[in-house]
Amino acid sequence: MLLHLDSSANRSDESVTRRLTRLFADRWRSDHDSTEYRYRDLAADPVPPIDTAYCQLGRRSEREGVVPLELVGALVENAAEADAWALTEPLITEVLASSTILIGAPLYNFSLPAALKAWIDRITFPGVLALGDTEVVVITSRGGAYGPGTRREGWDYEVPYLRAYFTNYGVRDDNIRFITAELSLAGLVPRLAHLRPLAEQSLADAISSIATGQHATAER
């Protein structure tokens, strides 16, 4: 199954990550001749941030020595915890059922969108997330340039975070891939107009990577 997540706050066709994840999803479904597809728009239908009930249920599970997913419900002690688990279990279940997770994640203030972080926090219930052979493809966009030799080199905290997160939960390093379109603001901001050819080339390279199935980028 392909689990397709968009997290850009901009839900219009101006969103670079939304356009690129749509291209990837269409290609994946064609290549796999598969109807096993689940889409979540984390901006339109946000995952609620974790709360006290979630934390208490998680701590109770850890005190038990970490409880399997299917048995966590038996640990629920009140209505708030029941609500927290009802929100959480379906998200974890669809992650575990996915062979490929596709994430659209624009770079916001040097890191990932809050909507994506809320989803990550909720699926990371103690002891239940083991991703094993799951493939993760992250499509990112950046308003500026963050590559080697640029003024903002090293300021991208999104790609390193997502790599660390998914590999920590079992995704092999060669099974997490990043496709990046840089300088997405060059076509909008007058002072960046001289960078438009570079922006167009970066976007073209991202589209080509999706079309050919060669997802690895310099972030690998």
Q: Is 170 annotated as a binding residue?
A: no
Residues 6+ apart with CB under 8 A from 41: 6, 11
Task: For residue 144, say whether it is annotated as part of any ligand binding site.
Answer: yes
Summarize the annotated binding site for FMN as residue ranges: 141-144
Summarize the annotated binding site as residue ranges: 141-144
